[in-house]
Structure 1
Amino acid sequence: MSIEAAVIALAQFDFGGKIRDDDYIDVMNHLVTPGLLLLAATATYLKQLLGDPIHCWVPTEYKERDNFLNYIEGYCWITPMYNVPMEKEIPKLEEDRNDYTMGFYRWVSVCLLLQALSFKLPHILWKTWKGFSGMDPDRIIKMAADGDMEEQEEDEDGGRNKEMRERGTGGEPKEKEKKKTDNKKIGPVAAFIDRRLITTFRRRKRGGICAKLNVFSKSSGYFLTIFFLIVKLMYAVVIVAQFLVLSKFLKINFFQYGVTAAMKQTDWTRWEDDEVFPRIALCDFHIRQLQNIQTFTVQCVLSVNMFIEKIFMIQWVWFLFMLLLTSVGIFRSFVDKLSRYRRILFIKKHLTIGQDFVEFWPPPRAFTPSTSLDKNRSPRDIFRNLSDKQRSHVKRLIRNETFQRKFVREYLQADGVFILKCIHNNTSNMVLMDILFRLVEHYMVEQELVHEQDGDGDDHLRLGSATL
């Protein structure tokens, strides 16, 4: 199993449902990375709560009294400590010691939780706003998936019926094979997509050049695609923001932290306390006595900082890996979603497969040809009554590259192809081709490439002449 398949399988383990309208890089950003950060936050919190995050060296008079030791360690843990290098003298004044204060280690769990939330924000924005495009991917994919399940059940039932017929007695004639009927759940999906596409097409035609250039308009045909690409860019922005925020939080250049830390870890010739995550720190505490208040300074070992240091080292490596992976994913997505050539290639591929290999189109003939001119008849009903000559002409038209370009450029646009690719990723090729050919039928009828003829001729349907 590839890494991509493993990540998608993890995403479908039902953290967000089985409907996927993103790729494995998005899943790693909004699911895997927050999961790792939550795991690190939990481990850090348990280390601080159940472990011994601090050990202090106390004055001689307090060594034999455990209650004083517990008090000192508890007090030093909840108050800011300060780290003065061994080669420097400890400042006399308390105000001067504030220049060396440190206390970030107490907030690491909260920091990790906020980081996990920040990686979820682009995905939450996508889930919340994608429906405002008027073409809700979740609803369409769910309807298509229901149709896919119906086809699978029909195939299973057909296989069982065939097996039962083959087991019949030799003297009895075999039952006539039942023709596979149209999937009743696919028609509404295609009709729903068509309504949105044709509405967008008409608005864009009325709006002129301004409607075509405004890609953020719902009638542009690019709204959903551009929004999807913006969300992908947001993942990269979130990763870069992690480096900037951690640089401020830890008071270092986090962009270079991984390299510097690795060099220190591999230097076995000498040991020195880490400046970013110091193991040794000083703590001042006050004891109130009858006559005065005495101030004591103790030296403490922060063992939790060794654990925190490893977390941020792993985090640096992971964020760098995710930044590179996300950058590659953004480039691929921009090429795939905005390239008209790739959109046409995708549609052409499945039109060819549907006609030449699977014999998916044309649809089966109606048992009783209709001769009425009912305006409410669906495009599928019209195409089921085509003559052999008309069917042959339509098949040639579908193979025509000029027709395919117009079909993608004027009708589907970027958003229509985006939806079809989502359907392809969540269902089967058969469902995709069923919907695609129904959309072709809708487009031909609406563009009057195929329409009914008034009169009593032999063919009650005729083909319009389209200027391609």
Structure 2
Amino acid sequence: MVLVELLSGIRGLVKVKHKADIDSAVFKLHYQLTSTMLFCFCLLVTTNSLVGDPINCLHSDHPMLQHKVVNTYCWIHTTFTLPKYINKGYGRGTGVLYPGVGPYNPSDTKVHHAYYQWVPFVLFLQGLLFYTPHWLWKTWEGGKLDSIVMGLSLPVMQRDARQEKIHLLADYLHASIHYHNFYAIKFFLCELLNLANTIFNIWFMNKFLGGMFLTYGIDVLYFTETNQEDRTDPMIVVFPRVTKCSFNMFGPSGSIETHDLMCVLALNVINEKVYVFLWFWFVTLASISFLALCYRILVFCVPAIRSGLLQKRARLRYKTGLEAIGKKLQVGDFFLLYLLSKNVELIAFSSLMEELSSRLARRPVHPDLEVSLPMPPPERFHLINENA
């Protein structure tokens, strides 16, 4: 039942909601796709540790060494590997059973591995981090776009009702011109936060894995192209499948006995695959987010690009139809119109752009619109402005 509830919660992140589209496709890669993947990986790692044994340690037949006690002790107090045996040949005649595992002296350098206890928590935290910018933008947006669309996203609507809503929406846009810049700035800050969050997660995972995550994916690719006998698998170095554990206990005379154990970490078979995928995905996501941010800056800074995008969205035949919009609209006005173009049906948006352009140019409205659009009562117009 718990597994079903978790899957139901994850499904809520990716299901299509019939509300206004208030962000971009790149934005959705962060809070829908990436967050969902991280939560699924967290669920996978957690389920694997609950169903099977995450660690199994081989010990002698000492009457005081109980299997469950030894496994629990080594899981809690961490295991370790020996760097001097990482890149050495192993097998018969070498004295090394496995990379990083071999006889050792107390003076040898040890690399302790405790991260596997925290992997599920870290993945869950990362999922929340990637969802945070969307939550912040959704809070700042406050349902504004959904309130001013007024059902114009429906492809089938009576002509009079459509033209009346277009008229009311044009009234609101014309009356609130140049008042949407802060609205666009908040969205830009959330896009910038998406990029910063991706870079931060790469840095954070590198710290979490002992400084070996930055080149993890490159090392794995390089390993696949070389002779495996000449080089140790980097996935085994970062996520060792066999480690050592020192278990201390009192002997019959009261002296301290140290038992040298070899432990198998079956959970790392899953962890190594998860983090290889995350390395490639985060690098790709950071690149896409950076390009999207550059594109957003370019659009915001060049009025001609903004005018061309609105013309393409509205499918207007004549470029002169948007002359006034290209000259008089600011960044915030363009951004609101761009979001409207994603939520308003094509014919309705084209009519809206023509009417808004006519009003900004101070020329009479198109005859068809002038005949079919009755002037709304003043109190209704004020109501629309208040709801928006």
- Scaled by the length of structure 2, what TM-score is found? 0.75
Q: 1:285 aligns with which of 225, 247, 250?
A: 247
One-letter amino acid of the counterpart of residue 419, structure 1: L
Q: Match for residue 156 of structure 2?
A: 152
| Higher RCO (CA 8 Å, separation ≥ 6 residues) | 2
One-letter amino acid of the counterpart of residue 308, structure 1: N
Give the Cα separation in 2 of the matches to 1:406 and 1:441: 8
> Offset at 1:250?
0.7
Contact 2:14 2:36 in 1 (8 A): no
Contact 2:152 2:162 in 1 (8 A): no
Residue 220 of structure 2 corresponds to residue 261 of structure 1: yes
> Offset at 1:265?
4.6
Change (3 A) 1:69 1:352: closer
Q: 2:166 aligns with which of 156, 174, 186?
A: 186
Q: Secondary structure at the match of 1:296?
A: strand
> Offset at 1:106?
0.9
Contact 2:115 2:208 in 1 (8 A): yes
Q: Specify the structure having the higher radius of gyration (Cα).
A: 1
Q: Match for residue 339 of structure 2?
A: 422
1:179-328 to 2 correspondences below 5 Å: 183-197=163-177, 200=178, 219=179, 222-266=181-225, 267-269=227-229, 272=232, 274-287=236-249, 292=254, 294-328=257-291
Q: 1:353 aligns with which of 300, 307, 316?
A: 316
> Offset at 1:49?
1.2
Cα-to-partner distance string for 1:399-433 (whole Å, 9 max, x where unaligned): 758xx5444433x3222222222121122111212
> Offset at 1:340?
0.2
> Offset at 1:12?
9.7
Give the Cα separation in 1 of the matches to 2:23 and 2:296: 10
Q: Match for residue 44 of structure 2?
A: 43
Change (3 A) 1:261 1:120: same
Which runs of 5 or more residues in structure 1 are unaligned?
Answer: 1-9, 156-179, 201-218, 357-398, 452-468
Cα-to-partner distance string for 1:22-77 (whole Å, 9 max, x where unaligned): 22111112210111111111111111111122121111335xx9x81122112211
Q: 1:126 aligns with which of 126, 133, 137?
A: 137
Cα-to-partner distance string for 1:324-382 (whole Å, 9 max, x where unaligned): 2222222222223332002223455678837x7xxxxxxxxxxxxxxxxxxxxxxxxxx
Give the Cα separation in 2 of the matches to 1:148 and 1:108: 44
Contact 1:351 1:437 in 2 (8 A): no
1:47-196 to 2 correspondences below 5 Å: 47-62=48-63, 68-85=66-83, 87=85, 90-92=104-106, 100-131=111-142, 136-141=144-149, 143=150, 146-149=151-154, 152-154=156-158, 183-196=163-176
> Offset at 1:86?
6.3
Contact 1:190 1:435 in 2 (8 A): yes
Cα-to-partner distance string for 1:259-285 (whole Å, 9 max, x where unaligned): 112333554225747332122222223
Cα-to-partner distance string for 1:157-197 (whole Å, 9 max, x where unaligned): xxxxxxxxxxxxxxxxxxxxxxx565333333333333321
Q: CA RMSD in A?
A: 3.3
> Offset at 1:109?
0.8
Residue 338 of structure 2 corresponds to residue 437 of structure 1: no
Give the Cα separation in 2 of the matches to 1:113 and 1:352: 44
- Scaled by the length of structure 1, what TM-score is found? 0.63
> Offset at 1:442?
4.4
> Offset at 1:112?
0.8
> Offset at 1:123?
1.4
Contact 1:130 1:136 in 2 (8 A): yes
Change (3 A) 1:124 1:235: same
Which runs of 5 or more residues in structure 2 are unaligned?
Answer: 1-10, 86-101, 366-388
Q: Match for residue 18 of structure 1?
A: 19
Contact 2:192 2:293 in 1 (8 A): yes
Number of residue pairs matched? 335
Q: Match for residue 370 of structure 2?
A: none
Change (3 A) 1:116 1:352: closer
